[in-house]
């Protein structure tokens, strides 16, 4: 085995089923409450592209305020343009779960 599986394969064994995202086809377009990170200048984008990736597997298994989030992802430990807090805000907004998840997710990352 090579790559991330060789180094972290045991960490992701028996990964639970990801949280289902409920989408109602009849809901009107909602306004995003979290920031969209797209204002990076060209120099910052080139620097980010040159930076080596250091991917770390993350497992989320959180029960909070009557909601359950179960998911896995890989986080680039060398990421400089998106903080764990910003990522958490975007994820919480996308999944339409309580904002109380933001600090929990960012602390796990």
pLDDT digits (tens, 9 = 90+) for 25-49: 555 556 665 555 566 678 878 888 8
Residue-level pLDDT at 47: 84
Give the chain's count of helices (H) and strands (E): 4, 2
SS3 86: helix
Measured CA to CA, the distance from residue 109 to residue 99 in angstroms comes to 16
Residue 24's pLDDT band (cuts 50, 70, 90):
low
Reported as a single tens digit per residue, the pLDDT across 46-87 is 888 888 999 999 999 999 989 999 999 999 999 988 899 999
**Spatial contact of 71 and 48, defined as CB atoms under 8 Å apart:** no
Task: Give which of 7, 22, 78, 4 is closest to 47, Cα–Cα.
Answer: 78
Measured between alpha carbons, how far is 47 from 29 in angstroms, rounded to an integer?
35
Q: What pLDDT is attached to residue 81?
A: 84
Residue 12 — pLDDT band, cuts 50, 70, 90? low
């Amino acid at each position: 085995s090579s790559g991330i599986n060789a180094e972290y394969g045991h960490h992701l064994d028996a990964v639970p089923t990801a949280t289902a995202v409920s989408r109602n086809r009849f809901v009107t377009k909602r306004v995003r409450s979290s920031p969209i990170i797209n204002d990076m200048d060209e120099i910052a984008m080139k620097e980010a592209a040159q930076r080596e990736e250091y991917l770390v597997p993350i497992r989320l298994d959180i029960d909070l305020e009557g909601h359950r989030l179960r998911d896995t992802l890989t986080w680039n430990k060398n990421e400089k343009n998106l903080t764990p807090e910003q990522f958490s805000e975007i994820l919480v907004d996308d999944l339409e779960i309580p904002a109380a998840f933001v600090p929990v997710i960012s602390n796990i990352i």
